[in-house]
Amino acid sequence: MLGACIGDDFVDDRVDPVLRITNSIDSLAIDSSYQFEFSYLNNVGQEEQIAAVWTSGSEEIISITDTGFATALAAGSSEIQASYEYEGGRAIDIIQVSVGGNTVETEITGKKGTVQTTSSYKLQGDFTLAEVGSDLQLNFGSDYEASTALPGLFVYLSNNPNTTADALEIQAVEVFAGAHSYTIPNVGIEDYRYVLYFCKPFNVKVGHGEIVE
């Protein structure tokens, strides 16, 4: 049964680091200020405390300090950028913010993705992810299909597609074909980057899907 899970015996836990502005806004009221925040996931998908570099594309419209404190100075728009230089590369996030009459937070209504197998057994399906109150709802459509031959199949949310270390275990897979959903309590829509499938008894990955906007 272990052979049902194995797609590649070599597992590399390293991923590209990611920096994300976590409280984006679409517009900032003129003569007002706003404190931007961010998260940084290192090369194994773990959150790490770092000092980001903040810049504004148009300082005469929106000024920003080294700590991400922005002030709207004039009507118009500006790119706001947070970045961090790590060994071998650079993580960056850029948003466009306009200056006008009101401060308007960016509304994220949902995300989506496609799960694909990493073994010789079938595992596939499109999914959506949406906030419902303080919870998340992970929904799979009618095209979802997973082989019943996969032993101890579990689904997770993770920031690293190669390991369940630091992943959030959702539950054992009970539906192997067709539409179904999972309710995940007290999790934000920006908290994880991947839907991940592992044969839990053997700690072997069998598939994943990146969560995208």
Mean pLDDT of 57-67: 97
The domains of the chain, with CATH numbers, are: 18-105 (2.60.40.1080), 108-210 (2.60.40.200)
pLDDT tens-digit readout, 194-203: 999 999 999 9
pTM, two decimal places: 0.80
pLDDT tens-digit readout, 80-105: 999 999 999 999 999 999 999 999 99
CA–CA separation, 98 and 62 (whole Å): 9
- Print burial letters for 17-52: b (CB count within 10 Å at least 16), e (below 16): bbbbbeebbbbbebeeebebebbbbbbbbeeeebeb
Which pair of structure tokens corresponds to residue 206?
């069998």
CA–CA separation, 121 and 123 (whole Å): 6
CA–CA separation, 99 and 82 (whole Å): 19
CA–CA separation, 124 and 143 (whole Å): 8
Mean pLDDT of 54-79: 97
pLDDT tens-digit readout, 1-53: 445 555 444 456 788 999 999 999 999 999 999 999 999 999 988 999 999 99
